[in-house]
Chain A
Amino acid sequence: MRRILLTAAASLALMTAATAQTAKVSVTAIVEHPALDAVRDGVRDGLEEAGYKAGDNLEFTYESAQGNPATAAQIAREFVGNSPDVIVPISTPSAQAAAAATRDIPIVFSAVTDPVAAGLVASNEAPGGNVTGVSDLSPIAEHVALVKEVAPEAEAVGFIYNPGEANSVVLLEYFREAAEKEGLSVVEAAANKSADVQAAARSLVGKAQAIYVPTDNTIVSALESLVAVAEENDLPLISGDTDSVERGALASVGFNYYEVGKQTAEVVLRVLKGENPGEIPVTFATGTDLVVNRKAAEAMGVTLPQAMIERASKVIE
């Protein structure tokens, strides 16, 4: 045991000595998961592009909490004890554990949907304290832009959702705000269960010239009935997630989580240069993956602009 302790003390001393020249970035995620792993890789590569090479002048550590919040709390303490320059927690529980563990070490979270509701920041514009980061809130503004692009003449867009899903209610507010900026009015259609989706979609016919379906579990589970209504009535259907495009929605913009990681790295770099995290507004991840469905477009009476097809990272025929 004594030898173990000595080794631990020695390695600790070494680590402390090394801090003088190298940047120390500690990354943690609640669980190993393709999207979260992609964020981690994005952070590491983003830092490397800026000249911080892992193992060279960057001490990059990563721990996964194996889906266990108690372990997340321990990892947070472990990181705080090693006093890195920046802690990068990926996902909400990891970010909360880190934020609870230190009030001094800068924290740049990533892939947190609603940082204010998670209690991480006072507001997205002025986070305050030692915490800022990147939110992966659905890129609503880009979805509205898509609606404008495929249906330039549209005056009203239908928003179909389940009012019982808290997330959808939040998205509706964001969507309304973004749509009104673009001069679009929003028509709501509510479905409390998947069996009601078709009726709700029909209620939009004649009132809206396009339909938007957010990442609403109820609606998305009955997407096919919504697609049928959209095709019958030539209403372009834009979805909040890219998977729905493969199931018959016309188009969507989604995240590439690797890019979200790179966007996070940019914020980390600002902190490494000495900026106060509390003064850096929360960044909203920009959607980078455009997916379009050419067959669905045809069925919905839309000719996809050539520019859009060229821009798309995936075209479903």
Chain B
Amino acid sequence: MSAIAFWGAVELGLIYGFVAVGVYLAFRVLDFPDLTVDGSFPLGAAIAAVTITAGWDPWLACLLAAFGGAACGIVTAFLNVRFGILNLLASILTMIALFSVNLRVMGRPNMAVFNRETVITPFYDLGLPDHVVRPLVLSVLVLVTVLVLARFLASDFGLAMRAAGANQRMARANGVDVGRQIYAGMAISNALTGIGGALFAQVAGFADVTSGVGTIVVGLAAVIVGETLFRTRALFIALLACVIGSVIYRVAVQLALSADFLFLRASDLNLVTAVLVALALILPRLRSRKVVAQ
């Protein structure tokens, strides 16, 4: 694996780190299996592509992508909280609808964003090689996000959200409005995914309606890998672990892509993902069995 390929993997891992943190929020904090991200990721990319090619500021594009993602999350939450549609099904409905929405947003299935001003381009003048600048800037962005999110989850509102996810009945008994927590959590989770999509469009150079497929699996793989490596109760570390998990996942993918490495090919990618997630699920069990044996 060359340096460019390695940093390219880190870069994508950091971008999907936003997705991983969002998935962590939905799956782990709220206990809400949310497939909306498969739609909100390309929506974020689409919004960024349309606004940036129209000459808007890339930071504003990211913000709008976050709002777009949040709206998706709210729709899913609405279907679930207001009408009692099963959470998984509610998110699938939103995800499917978003495919059409994304086509409308862009007006076509694919849009190019390269040779445009992005959130990264101003930093190319720092004198570092381009392929190092990108992950550097992205890591700062992701770190700030993780810090803010950790602070949020430690606030009264955030604690209520965690309570709502941990034990709805108990939370309700303590005066937590569980419905409102689901709205807020889903909005934040998908806003993060939307930002991930917007950054993907800017770094990869294009937005494509198909780019959402499997986002949830990648996000989940990152969360699980991170959890396996960092077994912690500290929120900041747990969130950071998701990002690191995402980077590790992408580096693993890159290894699979590197010419003939371990006889792996790109077409083995899905297998690698499945093995990675399965291993991450099995390892903690083996560990706990050891503890029992002692």
Q: Could you list 17 examples of A-B contacts with CB < 8 Å? A: A11-B260, A65-B266, A68-B210, A68-B213, A69-B206, A69-B211, A71-B253, A77-B8, A77-B131, A77-B254, A78-B2, A81-B8, A82-B5, A100-B204, A100-B206, A101-B8, A117-B108
Residues of A bordering B, CB below 8 Å: 8, 11-12, 15, 32, 61, 63-78, 80-82, 92-93, 96-97, 99-101, 117-120, 166
Contact B12 A67 (CB under 8 A): no
Contact A69 B259 (CB under 8 A): no
* Binary flags per residue of B128-160, CB closer than 8 Å to A gives 1, else 0: 000100000000000000000000000000000
Contact among A12, A15, A67, A82 for B213, CB-based, below 8 A:
A67
Q: Tell me if B284 is interfacial: C-beta within 8 Å of chain A.
A: no
Kindly report which residue of chain A lies nearest to residue B253, judged by CB atoms.
A74
With a cutoff of 8 Å between Cβ atoms, the chain B residues found around residue A66 in the complex are: 266-267, 269-270
A65 to chain B, nearest CB (A): 7
Residues of B bordering A, CB below 8 Å: 1-9, 11-12, 16, 107-108, 110-115, 131, 200, 203-206, 208, 210-211, 213-214, 218, 250, 253-254, 257-261, 265-267, 269-270
Contact A81 B211 (CB under 8 A): no
B129 to chain A, nearest CB (A): 12
When chains A and B are docked, how far (Å) is the Cα of A211 from the Cα of B254?
A: 51
Contact B112 A119 (CB under 8 A): yes
Kindly report which residue of chain A lies nearest to residue B212, judged by CB atoms.
A69
When chains A and B are docked, how far (Å) is the Cα of A78 from the Cα of B4?
A: 7
With a cutoff of 8 Å between Cβ atoms, the chain B residues found around residue A63 in the complex are: 257, 265-266
With a cutoff of 8 Å between Cβ atoms, the chain A residues found around residue B4 in the complex are: 77, 80-81
When chains A and B are docked, how far (Å) is the Cα of A96 from the Cα of B201?
A: 11
Query: Most A CB atoms within 10 A — which of B4, B108, B214, B267?
Result: B4
Contact among B6, B203, B208, B259 for A82, CB-based, below 8 A:
B259
With a cutoff of 8 Å between Cβ atoms, the chain A residues found around residue B12 in the complex are: 70, 73-74
Q: A32-B267, A74-B8, A96-B206 are in contact. Are A120 and B112 (CB under 8 A)?
A: yes
Contact B3 A81 (CB under 8 A): yes
When chains A and B are docked, how far (Å) is the Cα of A67 from the Cα of B259?
A: 19
The list of the 6 closest CB pairs from A to B, nearest first, reads A100-B205, A119-B112, A77-B8, A81-B2, A81-B4, A81-B5
With a cutoff of 8 Å between Cβ atoms, the chain B residues found around residue A80 in the complex are: 4-5, 8
When chains A and B are docked, how far (Å) is the Cα of A263 from the Cα of B226?
A: 47
With a cutoff of 8 Å between Cβ atoms, the chain A residues found around residue B111 in the complex are: 119
Contact B114 A119 (CB under 8 A): yes
Query: Most B CB atoms within 10 A — which of A64, A67, A77?
Result: A77
Contact among B5, B115, B266 for A119, CB-based, below 8 A:
B115
B4 to chain A, nearest CB (A): 3
Q: A64-B266, A74-B12, A77-B4 are in contact. Are A99 and B261 (CB under 8 A)?
A: no
When chains A and B are docked, how far (Å) is the Cα of A81 from the Cα of B6?
A: 9
When chains A and B are docked, how far (Å) is the Cα of A65 from the Cα of B253?
A: 11
When chains A and B are docked, how far (Å) is the Cα of A74 from the Cα of B255?
A: 11
When chains A and B are docked, how far (Å) is the Cα of A8 from the Cα of B257?
A: 12
Contact A75 B204 (CB under 8 A): no
With a cutoff of 8 Å between Cβ atoms, the chain B residues found around residue A119 in the complex are: 111-115, 206
Q: A78-B5, A81-B4, A93-B110 are in contact. Are A69 and B267 (CB under 8 A)?
A: no
A92 to chain B, nearest CB (A): 6
With a cutoff of 8 Å between Cβ atoms, the chain B residues found around residue A97 in the complex are: 204-206
A29 to chain B, nearest CB (A): 10
Kindly report which residue of chain A lies nearest to residue B2, judged by CB atoms.
A81
When chains A and B are docked, how far (Å) is the Cα of A108 from the Cα of B258?
A: 21
With a cutoff of 8 Å between Cβ atoms, the chain B residues found around residue A75 in the complex are: 257, 266
When chains A and B are docked, how far (Å) is the Cα of A68 from the Cα of B210?
A: 7
Contact B204 A70 (CB under 8 A): yes
Kindly report which residue of chain A lies nearest to residue B268, judged by CB atoms.
A66
With a cutoff of 8 Å between Cβ atoms, the chain A residues found around residue B259 in the complex are: 11, 15, 61, 82
When chains A and B are docked, how far (Å) is the Cα of A66 from the Cα of B219?
A: 18
Contact B9 A74 (CB under 8 A): yes
B117 to chain A, nearest CB (A): 14
When chains A and B are docked, how far (Å) is the Cα of A3 from the Cα of B250?
A: 21
Contact A93 B206 (CB under 8 A): yes
A71 to chain B, nearest CB (A): 6
Contact B258 A8 (CB under 8 A): yes
With a cutoff of 8 Å between Cβ atoms, the chain A residues found around residue B131 in the complex are: 77
When chains A and B are docked, how far (Å) is the Cα of A220 from the Cα of B3?
A: 49
Contact A77 B210 (CB under 8 A): no
Q: A81-B2, A118-B112 are in contact. Are A93 and B208 (CB under 8 A)?
A: yes
Query: Most B CB atoms within 10 A — which of A65, A71, A81?
Result: A81
Kindly report which residue of chain A lies nearest to residue B5, judged by CB atoms.
A81
With a cutoff of 8 Å between Cβ atoms, the chain A residues found around residue B112 in the complex are: 96, 118-120
Contact among A61, A64, A65, A96 for B114, CB-based, below 8 A:
A96
When chains A and B are docked, how far (Å) is the Cα of A12 from the Cα of B4?
A: 13
When chains A and B are docked, how far (Å) is the Cα of A277 from the Cα of B7?
A: 27
With a cutoff of 8 Å between Cβ atoms, the chain B residues found around residue A117 in the complex are: 108
Kindly report which residue of chain B lies nearest to residue A69, judged by CB atoms.
B211
Contact among A73, A118, A120 for B8, CB-based, below 8 A:
A73
Contact B5 A68 (CB under 8 A): no
Contact A82 B266 (CB under 8 A): no
When chains A and B are docked, how far (Å) is the Cα of A73 from the Cα of B208?
A: 12
When chains A and B are docked, how far (Å) is the Cα of A93 from the Cα of B111?
A: 9
A61 to chain B, nearest CB (A): 6
Q: Please name 12 further chain A to chain B contacts, defined as beta carbons within 8 Å, in addition to the given A70-B200, A96-B204, A166-B108, sorted by A numbering.
A: A68-B210, A68-B269, A69-B208, A69-B211, A71-B257, A73-B203, A74-B8, A81-B4, A81-B8, A96-B110, A100-B113, A101-B8
